[in-house]
Structure 1
Amino acid sequence: MDASPTQGPARRTLLLLTAGLCALALVSGCSDPSSGSSSSRTGPGSSDSDASRTGARTAASPSGAISDLQNEYQTVIEDVLPSVVQIEAPEGLGSGVVYDTEGHIVTNAHVVGSATAFKVTVATGEKVVSASLVSAYPEQDLAVIKLDQVPDGLKPARFGDSTKVEVGQIVLAMGSPLGLSSSVTQGIVSALGRTVSESRAGGGTGATIANMVQTSAAINPGNSGGALVNLDSEVIGIPTLAATDPELGGSAAPGIGFAIPVSMVRTVADQIIKNGRVVDSGRAALDITGRTVVDDSYQPAGVALVSVAKGGAADTAGLRAGDIITGLDGQPVTTITSLQEALAADKPGEKVTVTYLRDGRERTAKVTLGEV
């Protein structure tokens, strides 16, 4: 299975699944609470027999639990769905989440693409409102747009705490898969701390994103930029990517989706709203441009430095154009993507050991990382 998911615009194929502009992020994989609807009507009968009453209570117990969970789902949907919008861009369709009462909407950068003007369908009355780009940050596949006119009753979502997200938590995904606005599915948090990379094909940003939330979400065109929500009605992530299975010809790998964690969403959105752009990315960099090189067997074997920024991290450590990076802190580096994934786990200012080849000889250098 390809561990480097990707998403692109709607109606295009993602690296991981689908969408160059949009990706659904709906969760599947848990039993449908509604399947117990018939038994939920089961209750104590009119029989005077103690055995009958006992049996009725026993039968009602699982039914009551299902009913309680169903009520929780419905409460969350009523709370959050009005804060999820549909975004129409020139290249396709995506989703977004209302960030504040001023009309700011947070979404994926691949949803907005290169556009600066959009049509947004808000949940209040299904009214279509025009919106403009505030700024996009493709390095983290996030963007903020702003409604040109704030409609009455616009409801900002409530954003949760990434430190409280745990594997096994039930989550709901909300968005506009395939243009089906206000759609909701359910699943669980499957894993935390995943590092994934998007393809640039089909409108993807090519970003490598760390600390992603893996969920049993079905990522389809139109759901990118929507909301991954816990049962406390809090947004815990922005559904962005889905995995593909090379053995299935690059088609979707069911039940493997990824969402940008809410901590990064808030960090990026707050900076864009305050400064008009991201001023502190928190992302480490070597300050180089490079390309993947292959060995005699035509297998990826490292990253050749095409250029080294003067005064940057690599330059200060003595690296130069022509060097081939093969490792970072003991982790093999064979491609540009693997180098980006290795850097995604680090922070600006940290010191790392870079292993590289120069004139066929292996060397190492201590590098103080810069910032993207």
Structure 2
Amino acid sequence: MQKLAIIASHPIQYYAPWFQYLSSTTTLAVKVFYLWDSGITQKVDVGFGKAFQWDIPLLTGYDYEFVANISPDAGTHHFWGLQNPSLISQINNYQPDAVLLMSYNYASIYHFLLCWNYHQIPLLFRGDSHRLLSSIGIKAWVRRQIITKIYQRFAACLYVGKANYEYFRYYGVAAKRLFFSPHAIDNDRFFAQAEIAKEQANSWKQEIGIPKDHAIILFAGKFEAKKRPLDLLQAFLQAKLHRVSLLFVGAGILENDLKSQAAGYANIYFAPFQNQSLMARTYAIADVVVLPSYGNYETWGLAINEAMCLSRPVIVSNHVGCAQDLVHPGKNGLIFPAGDVLALTHILQEAFSNLERLHNWGQESRNIILEYSYRQSTQGVTQALDSIMNGQTKFT
């Protein structure tokens, strides 16, 4: 039995169920090493601007241990937020056959990479970055040299989608060292909740005050600049859609701006942050889900996975990492140029020009998301490990 150590920043609602799946469906002995305890204890999330903890179990069904974090400002919002001096010794005590890193851009993990004997015990990396908005100049050149050196320490890299694959190739990772491990959520949990979520959504719609005969455009997430909720607000106002409401669900620094700009207009509604147990209901209320993010920050957009599990059509900008993989224009949704409010306006008008077609797009979303599950994610891990252990994957 191979022993796999996984280094993760903190318990995350998308990853913990996958770790459970890895532990229960493979012959691997899996142990997760967490560098921070956010998610299971109440902590302030910088993006949401409020303290919360997830309301689903994140520490059951797999082996784990926490690594003491001595950072005076602990968190994943800055480089020095993870400082874990005992990380290497705790990993060594586990005596793994391989180590999988879920991120690297923190002080603690850089130290680990510099000191770890990766020739003796190989490293894997699963990332989701992309270069959909590319940069040029001397800083970009220096960055490329540094990141290329970092990836040379990994025996294999797991890519989550097409944009992420191109990112790894740009930074010099050979194709033979790349293994497909798609971004996924706990599909089964959302599938199981789908029917009751629809009933709950009908009641919630009434509570919010949205007219019964209105279709709903949903934005669910952090109200922050990189996610561009203000673009969606302006596009909605310009689209002048008949019997359609816009619902913002979440919290964040732009909340006051959104509410100020929405004041005086009809059919725009707000609901507070919804925890994980209510997310199925959140998507079930929607007729279409929109993620208009700009830049390289929306590395994937797992909210789109969630929405598709609830058979929802989706609209995303072309800077959203999952766009090339999950959104098939004219089949389950539409894609528009990031930051282009006029294009988004036309996209909304196109989507609601045929409500029957919009419904059919939602059904296709569910078909597509079946191929983005923990089963496929796990296959990538096991294929990478097999390649490493059989000597097929060499360092470059």
TM-score (norm 2): 0.24
Whichever structure has more strand as a proportion of its residues is 1
Of structures 1 and 2, the one with the larger relative CO (CA 8 A, separation 6+) is: 1
Whichever structure has more helix as a proportion of its residues is 2
TM-score (norm 1): 0.26
